[in-house]
Amino acid sequence: MKQHVIGRMQAFSLAAALLAIAPGASAQGVVSAAPARIDAKAPAADPPPQMRVQNYRPVFQECHDAGKRRLLAIRAMSVDAKRQLLVVDPSSLATSLEDETSLICADTDDAAQKDTRFMAAITASAQASGHPSTAQPSVLQNAGLSHGVGEGSFLTGDLCPSRKPLDRAFLQGIEALGLATPVSLSISGLWLKRHGADFQWLLHEARAGALTITWVNHSFHHPYVPGRPFANNFLLTPGVDIQAEILDTEQILIANGQVPSVFFRFPGLISDAVTMDAVRRDHLVTLGADGWLVFMPPLRAGAILLIHPNGNEPEGLRLFSKLLGQGRLPRPFRPILDAP
């Protein structure tokens, strides 16, 4: 049974990677599909104004505002030459950008914050090792927070680099479920750079109250080479700077007026002990999934659902809509901040 489950998870990781990146792939054709290799160095048209954000760096400070509200700062920067902090509410896990001059802050550490919900979520996700690969024991598959607490489920969509447009029609179908439907979008920096119109459409839908979007970090380049073993692929590719992959994605989101969340999802759901530790040191919660829908229904309450609305997973989106219509997905959809 254990080998059967691990085999399903290996298929889940590989197929999700192929369909996330490969134009025109389908669940039935995943083995024979010829996924496009994403060139991380390819120039992007109309890059966003990243120069607005300067001196972006990790910090860990306990802060208080004038109302004695307790916050934890995890990044410092200047935005349009003004000193800003990316802060986390340690109870709700909500993030915000705050003027550094409006807070009183002092350095802290993990031990001092161990009793907060925030540090508990980071620690739990870092210790959730997922499914070690049988062929490559150092590789972890689907490590991190893969199931949430409570009723309903958590809808997450990965925006890996893609040559196809965002599947707006699918997201409009999600909007029809109710106002401000919560969805967590795991965004790669290259997707944002190459899909400016789609990104602006998402912001418009959020401003209109149709969607409540939580931005999950999905690395900047999302490296992937077809056929290469997992131990040397995705963020385990030799030469990849894991911290740059994390921080550059946050920076480009902030440059575009958005606030990164405390969550990070590995490309292909592939990691190892070293990259897991890097995410933990940057004070992020590693986000996995209960299973990619094409392979792993039915799902129970608290499920973290994984889809790819980046234009490359039509079969998965059709299956999602079918399961939703049949009442086979746990409802209601809840914000990912409720999951840890």
Helices (H) and strands (E) in the chain, counts: 8, 15
Burial 164-198 (b: 16+ CB within 10 A, else e): eebbeebbeebbeeeeebbbbbbbbbbbbbbbeeb
Q: How far apart are CA 154 and CA 289, in angstroms?
A: 9
Instruction: State the pLDDT at residue 19.
Output: 45
Question: What number of other Cβ atoms are within 10 A of residue 2's Cβ?
Answer: 8
Which DSSP string corresponds to 61-96?
EEEE-TT--EEEEEEEEEETTEEEEEEE-TTT--EE
Question: What number of other Cβ atoms are within 10 A of residue 229's Cβ?
Answer: 12
Instruction: State the pLDDT at residue 284.
Output: 98
Sign, CA dihedral 209-211-212-216, equals: negative
Query: pLDDT tens digits for the chain (340 residues)?
Result: 434 444 444 545 544 444 444 433 332 222 222 222 223 333 343 444 668 999 999 999 999 999 999 999 999 999 999 999 999 999 999 999 999 999 999 999 999 999 999 999 999 999 998 877 767 889 999 999 999 999 999 999 999 999 999 999 999 999 999 989 999 999 999 999 999 999 999 999 999 999 999 999 999 999 999 999 999 999 999 999 999 999 999 999 999 999 999 999 999 999 999 999 999 999 999 999 987 665 565 688 999 999 999 999 999 899 899 989 988 899 999 999 999 9
Which DSSP string corresponds to 303-323?
EEEEE--SSS-HHHHHHHHHH
| Cβ 269 vs Cβ 203: under 8 Å | no
Query: How distant, in Å, are the alpha carbons of 107, 272, 293 from that of 157?
Result: 35, 22, 12
Instruction: State the pLDDT at residue 295.
Output: 52
Compute the C-alpha angle 119/155/17, nearest 5°: 90
Q: Give residue limits of the domains in the chain.
A: 2-31+116-338, 52-107
| Cβ 161 vs Cβ 188: under 8 Å | yes
Instruction: State the pLDDT at residue 45.
Output: 39
Superfamily covering domain 2-31+116-338: Glycoside hydrolase/deacetylase (3.20.20.370)
| Cβ 283 vs Cβ 306: under 8 Å | no
| Cβ 306 vs Cβ 83: under 8 Å | no
pTM greater than the 0.75 cutoff: yes
